[in-house]
Structures are given as structure tokens and as C-alpha cells.
Amino acid sequence: MVFGLARRELRPRVPLRPGEGEKHRLTSLEGLAALSLDALSSVAYGPEAIVIALVAAGTGALSATLPVTLAIVFLLAALVVSYAQVIAVHPDGGGAYAVAKKDLGPTASLLAAASLVVDYVLTVAVSLSAGADALASAFPALAHDKLPVCLAGLALLTVVNLRGVAESARVLMLPTVLFIMTILGVVVIDLLRSHPAAVVGTPLSFPPKESLGLLLLLKAFSSGCSALTGVEAIANAVPTFRAPRVRRAQRTELMLGALLGVMLIGLAVLIRRDHVAPRGEVTVLAQLTAGAFGTGWPYYATNLVVTLVLGLAANTSFGGLPVLMSLLARDHRLPHLFGLRAERPVYRYGVLALALLAAVLLLATEADTHRLIPLFAIGVFIGFTLSQLGLVLHWARDKPAGWRRRALINGTGALLTTLAGVILLTTKFLAGAWVVVVAVPLLMLLFARIQRYYTAVGEELGLGRVPAPPDRRTASLVIVPLGEVSKLARHAIGAALSLGDEVVAVAVHADPAKSRALRESWERWNPGVRLDVIDSPSRSLVQPIVDYVQRAARDGRQIAVLIPEVEPRHRRYEILQNQRGLLLATVLRARTDVVVCLLPYRLGL
């Protein structure tokens, strides 16, 4: 005992997998870095969307930027408080889809799922296009190559996520802190200056096209609401936090709301004070950066940081949408292949689907951020509203202590997000929001039809019911298509003899001389298996075997067709091999009900 050799109780210990254990979960600061980039990075395009909407009434209307921003920040505060309630009620996460499925029913859950799919795809497209804008502000030569830059960034994100390189909160801490410090630095330093340090971009003229009235203010408000995307991400990922999870997630949500609100108000004050209007080849944020830091290295460094963070914000969708699609696949609302995980583990089909949809969207809009913004926030606000309504029903059903106050908070949030969604839809409908109005119902219909198909398949297969006893065993026949006597034939015949009661080899030849030579070789080898040679004057190889199999299956026996296939060691040689076996297997599966087996013979080359 003195030397530490006392007998201790041995307990089996199961090693933790990578990512398991409390130390791998998120603290509040790590959660801010890992889950808030989508929301925080929206300051790169949200204020600019307000400015572009207001400038339709001339540059004098830009003074309304601050009041519009204050209204958006008020809505942000309501959302943050409401989502703090969502975190408390749904500590297992799951987002609007899980909330709607539990509290609002199947139709609402389909609506939530469709809107989330649209939101995730648009997040990738908008973040990449806004990142390309920031990059072009620092390097004007790239201004005409935005689409290739976006597609290249999308390809890089796709490859990284297919390889299963998971996001690490510690890795994201540095760019997140740099981004927050940079934006706050722009605000503070620019406020301390009496006039901008430098002006970038080419001037543009903005003759008034409409008056500054309620409709224009609503358009500006709806455009600026794109800055609220990503607020729900923390509530979706509560299980990733360390204990006490609910308290840490709520703290992170409040930190996000405070930082985002301060940055939005600060940038709006600068826009109003300096009368910042859109200029050619630069973003509004780049103009404010030049006004604070000048055009030296801090200007270029800031734009590069903004580009990096926007790229990381796009990457959050690659972590979110494939998981959502796997949940839909588990609920039989998407093909089950979206629920398959690779060894890494990665939902690769979900990653590929997201990349394809984002690429189509970027190509359709030519990576124009201002054409994507009208599409962006509608799906988000549908999710906001459904989450709040679901929580109101939860409070009314369970009636815990203080439920009326909580229901009032979530009901107010639902009312505000509904009004914001209606404003978004009405003011942006002709500008492109109609695409979302069409896409969401079509996705809901797709999910419902897939679920209906799986339900019908389950009924036909009798899933969940005890089936009748299996049929009594019948005689079996294994048919082996061959071309000549070789090691491949020996390999195939040996496998066939272990599978069935009777084995027959079948060969198809158009040349009688080759048929005779094959019979002679077969008799010399004498494997104890009958050989049937089919003459084919038309030189067709697949159809004669299919006809032979169909005739053999008429007597009710169980038929199996064993097709030997040569597989080279290196994939580059596959194109040199005969692919008739795969063609024969495809045709047999389409035209017969026999068992089709592919038997590999692996070469050393």
C-alpha cells in the first residue's frame, strides 16, 4: 500500500469516441464562435441592403438608416428573449422542425423543414457572394470574376466537408474575435474622426425614383432583416454545450444579441453621419473601413477577415442541412440515402445536395448579393414564427408556473416575426421573393409524396407485422455465363457449386469454330458441370442469356445467375475491362425476378 500497490477495484472503461466527453463540448465563448458566425457576419450585407433600398429616394433618404436599424434591433431583442425560452423548453435542440413536429403537427413540420432547406441553401449563396464582394473591394481586379470566385469557394467547402473535417470551436475563435474586434474598431475609430480618413470606390448618381414614405421604409426594413439570420442556430445546438447546457446556451444567445445589436447600430450611426451611399466596386462596409483606417494595410486586412468569416459562415450550412436531411430521411420524408453516414462520419449525400443547389442558385443570380437578399430572410422568418407559436401552445398545454408571462413573450415574438415576414413577402415579392413562395410549397409536396410512398411500401411489405412462415425449400439452379475456359471459369464454377443444387455454364458464340473449340476445352477440363452453348448469328451476347434464364425460370425453380467480373487492382485500368457483366446484370434485374450475383476476380495488376 505504501508503494501504491494496493488492490483497487477494476471497472471496465469504455473509451470515448472523438468529440465525446464534457471537455469536447462548448463553453459560452466557444459556442459564440462555433454557432454565431452566420448571424454576426450578416453585418457585412444587412446594413448595405438597407442603404440600397433607401437610396431609391435619393441620398437624402439615407438619414432614415438609423431608425430602420433601430426597428430591426428591437426585433432582434424580441427574438433573442424568445429563443432563450426555446432553449429552456427544448434542451435537446432540433430547431424549428423539431418544435413544429412536436407542438404544431405534421403540416407545420413540413413547412418548417421546407423553409429551413431554403434558408440553408441561401445562407451558402449569400455568404459566398458577400465574401466575394468584400474580396473585390480590396482587390478591384476580381470585381468581374465574382461568380468563379464563389464557385471556387463552394467547391473548396464541399471537398472539405466531404472529407469530414469537422468544425472546431477553438479554431473558429480566432477569426470570430478578429471579426468582432475589427467591426467594433471600425465603429469606434470612425466615430472619433471628424471626417473619413479615405474614400474608396467610384461615385454613382442616385436621382430620386420614389418618395421617402412608409412603403420605402418597409422595403428598407425587410431588406435589413437579412441581418437577423442565424439567431436560431444556438437554440438548434443546445446539446453541444457543457453543463449546465441551458444556462450556457442562453448566455451565448444573449451575447450574440448584444454584439450584433451594437455592431448594427454603430454602423448605422456612421452611415447616417457620413452620408455613406453605394459606390462602384466597393461595399458599404469597405467604405466605412476606409473611413476609419484609410487605405493602408488595415483596410486590406479587414476585407480579408470579412471574406474569411463569410466563408466560415457559409460552412455552417454544411453542418446544418445534411443533419436536417438525415432527420427528414429518418421520418421517411426524404430518400433514405440521405440518412447514410460515411466512416468520417459525414452525411455525404446531404453535402452534395447542398453544394449542387447552392451552385445552381449562384449561377442563376450570377452571384449578385442584392438579387439574393430578397430571397434570403423569408424562410428564416417562417422558422422564427413556427418556433414561437409552438412554444405558445406548449405553455398553454402544460401550464407551468408563470406560463402566462412566458406565453406572452413568445406570442409577442411570434406576432413580430409574422408581421416582419408579411412585410418581407409583400415588399420583395416581385424582386424575387416569389421564388421562395413557389419553392416552399413544392418542397412540402415533395416531402409529403415521399412519405406517402414509404408508407405504401411499408404496407405492401407488411412492416411491423409478423409474416407467414417462409415457403418450403425448392430445387435451385445456378447459371454461370462464361466465355472460355480459364482461371476465371474455375473461380466462378467453384463458387456456384457451393451455392446451388444444380449448376450449368452458359456461353454465347457467333462463330461455330469457337463453339467447337470451347466444347473441346470444357471436355478436357471436365469440371462436372454441364455446358450449354448458345449460337448467336446476330452477335448479341446479352439477349440470348436473358432468354435462356427466362426459359429456365418457367418450371418454378429458384434461379440464381452468377456473373464473374474481372477487377483490376488499380482503378485506372477499369476502363480497359469488359463491362458486359454489369450490362447483363442490369438487364436481368429489369426483366426477370431471378437472383443476380456479381462475383469479383481481383487481378494483381
218 and 307 both lie in a single domain: yes
Rg of the chain over Cα atoms, rounded to whole angstroms, equals 32
344 and 243 both lie in a single domain: yes
CATH of the domain at 125: 1.20.1740.10
CATH of the domain at 532: 3.40.50.620
What DSSP character marks residue 485? Answer: S
Q: What is the pLDDT of residues 94-113, one digit of tens each?
A: 567 777 888 888 888 899 88
Confidence of residue 21 (pLDDT cuts 50, 70, 90): very low
388 and 258 both lie in a single domain: yes
In a domain, 318, yes or no: yes
Overall pTM > 0.85: no
What DSSP character marks residue 280? Answer: B
427 and 490 both lie in a single domain: no
Instruction: Show which of 394, 425, 455 is a domain's final residue.
Output: 455
pLDDT of residue 446: 93
439 and 517 both lie in a single domain: no
435 and 526 both lie in a single domain: no
- Across the chain, what does the average pLDDT equal? 82
Report yes or no: 172 and 278 within 8 Å, Cβ to Cβ: no
pLDDT of residue 472: 63
Instruction: Show which of 422, 455, 488 is a domain's final residue.
Output: 455
Host H or E run for residue 34: helix 28-35
What DSSP character marks residue 361? Answer: H
Q: What is the pLDDT of residues 238-265, one digit of tens each?
A: 777 887 888 888 898 899 999 999 999 9
For 58-80, give one letter per residue: b (16+ CB within 10 A) or e. bbebbebbbebbebbbebbbbbb
Q: What is the pLDDT of residues 463-498, one digit of tens each?
A: 777 777 776 666 788 999 988 888 888 999 999 988
In a domain, 573, yes or no: yes
In a domain, 161, yes or no: yes
In a domain, 15, yes or no: no
Range of the domain at 570: 476-602
pLDDT above 80 (res 5)? no
More confident residue, 362 or 557: 362
355 and 492 both lie in a single domain: no
305 and 194 both lie in a single domain: yes
pLDDT above 80 (res 513)? yes
pLDDT of residue 514: 85
pLDDT of residue 450: 92
As for how many domains the chain has, the answer is 2
For 273-311, give one letter per residue: b (16+ CB within 10 A) or e. ebebbbbeebbbbbbbbbbbbeeeebbeebbebbbbbbb
438 and 517 both lie in a single domain: no
C-alpha cell at 162: 466531404
Length of the chain (residues): 605
